[in-house]
Amino acid sequence: MDSERKFGMTRRQFVTSSAAAVVAGSLSPAALAHEQTPAAADRPTSSSPSRVIIDTDPGVDDAFALLLAMRSPELKIEGITPVAGNVPLELTLPNALRMVEIAGRTDIPVAAGAKTPLTRRLVTAAYVHGENGLGGAEFPEPKTKPVSEPAPEFIRTTVRKHPGEITLITIGPLTNVAMALDLDPDLHGMIPRIVMMGGSLSGGNITPAAEFNIYVDPEAARIVFQSGIPITMVGLDVTRKTGLTDAHVRRLESAQNPVSQAAANIAHHAIQHYREAGFLVDPNMHDSLAVAAFLNPSLLNWKEYYVDVETSGELTAGETLGYSPTAGDLRRSAEAEKKAAQSMTIRGSAPTLATTKTSPVLRDHFVPNTNVAMEVDSAGFFELLIGRLTGK
C-alpha cells in the first residue's frame, strides 16, 4: 500500500487540512475545550508507575534516554515508537530494538514509525551521531522484532486503551505523533501531557533559528503544539548545559552491568567522534534530560509560554516562538502582567503593501500551551542519569 495514503489522505493533504485552523487564527472547539494552563510534569510515584510511550530517533542521546527510562521503576513504558530523524528509520528502528535487548526489556513493544517527515525530505544528523546513529559504537544485530502496527496506529490504540493515563515522551521529530492525531480527531483529549525534547527560545543547533527535532518536521511540530495537549518543552535553553564528559564515561565503565557498559561504549565513541569532527563541546544529553524532567521536574526551572512553530520562513522554518506578556521588553508589574495576559493578542506577520489582508491573529488572548524549561541543575541531572545507568 502507498505509505503516503495508508492513513486516509496524503501527508500533504493532512498538513494542509490540519493547518487550516491555525492560519485562520483559532484551534478547534475540541482542542480549546481540552486546553489548560500547564504545570511542570507530574512526578511519578513508586507506588503508581506512570504510563508512557517514548517516541524517539536513536541517536546517541536517545539511546541514553531509553536506557534511563528502562532503568526507572517510576515508569511503565507502554511502547517505543522509532521515527526517522538523527538517522534514517532503517537505523533508528534497530537501534531502539538494541536498547531494549541491552536493558533486558524485550517485553516493551517497539513499533516502526514514519520514514520521512510529513511534507519534507528527511534531513539527518549523522555528522553528530555517526553513520550508525550511535557514534560508531557497534552492537550485534537485534533479534527482537517490532510489532506489526505502525507507530501512529500503535500510539492511537494504546492511548485509547488507557485514556487520560499515557504521557508521550517525544525525543525526536514529531511526525508519528502528528499522524496519530490525524488518525483520531478525539485523541488529543485523551493525552494528559507531552514531555518533549525539542525547540528553543534561545537559537537553534541546525540553523541559527531552529532546533533539530523541530526543524526536521516543522509541520508536524506545529500540529502538535496547536493540538491543545499540554506540553512540557525541554529545549536547547537547558540541554546545552548537559555535556557528557570523560569523567562520566569512567563512572559508567566502573559498573559491571550490561546497561552501564553499553552506555560507556556509546559515550566513548560519541566523545571521540566529536573530537575528530573538531567540536569544542562535549556531546549534550538532550533527550536524557527530557526523561529526567519527567522523573524529577524539580531539576529544572520553568516558565509558561504560548509556543508556536514557524513553518514558512526560508531562513527560520522550525523556529519555536515563545509568546509571553513578560518576555523581552514586555516586563510588567504583577497587576499589569495579569491584565496583559487577559488582553494580549498573539499575531502573525505584518501584512504586505500588495494585499488588503490584515495580520493573522493566531490567538485573541494569551493562553499558555507550553511549560518551557529555562534553567537546569546539571550536576543533579547527571547524578540521576549516571546513578540509574550504573545502579549506584
Q: What are the residue numbers of the active site?
A: 286
- Give the whole-angstrom CA distance, residue 209 versus residue 86: 18
Residue whose cell numbers read 488572548 = 365
